[in-house]
Amino acid sequence: MDTRTHDDTSDHAVVTRDTLTLRLTVNGKPRQYAIEPWVTLLDLLREHEHLTGTKKGCDHGQCGACTVLVDGKRINSCLALAICKDGAQVTTIEGLAVCDRLHPLQQAFMDHDALQCGYCTPGQICSAQGLINEGHARTRDEVRESMSGNLCRCGCYTNITDAIMEVLEQEGAR
């Protein structure tokens, strides 16, 4: 059954016996869905919204490739049932940039060569933004500890930390 039931011209989702209504704001756009209760936020973003920047890595919450921001906080979207996020603001990697201008973290990741294959990069950047939003990490060690839930199989950890530290320092200067 195709559960992609929102459309940009309607405020109503088609609800069936097996679905529930869900309202989210995804990357600044209000959306409404009729979904099965077992659909994860990750699957909703990838399969219904076609936002494929959020990756399905381990599907067990162990790698961080699926990290997105929900109401500004980082979560593993593979572990979150979409219906439990009703009314939330969801930001994916696709929602961080403004028009043609990269988000400061995206630019810093490029400047510091903080990626190699790029598979983990969207989750790393969303997690880094969540870390900044939390306001707890100020030192390299605190950044490394706070980012420990995001794995990089290519081993770019030093460069990832450098990129995050640059943005933290830029924000501290404001």
Give 17-47 pLDDT, tens digit per residue.
789 999 999 999 999 999 999 999 999 999 9
SS3 readout for 61-117: CCCCCCEEEECCEEEECCCCEHHHHCCCEEECHHHCCECCECCHHHHHHHHCCCCCC
Q: The pTM is what?
A: 0.89
Report the pLDDT value the prediction gives residue 7, as an integer from 0 to 100. 47
pLDDT at residue 160 is higher than 70: yes
Instruction: Report the C-alpha gap between 168 and 61 in whole angstroms.
Output: 26
Residue 13 pLDDT: 60
Task: Report the alpha-carbon distance of residue 87 to residue 35 in Å, rounded.
Answer: 14
CA distance 110 to 62: 25
Tokens 């600044």 locate to 28
* Range 85-113 average pLDDT: 96
- Could you give all domains of the chain from N- to C-terminal order, each with its CATH number? 20-95 (3.10.20.30), 104-172 (1.10.150.120)
| Structural tokens at position 57 | 């890595």
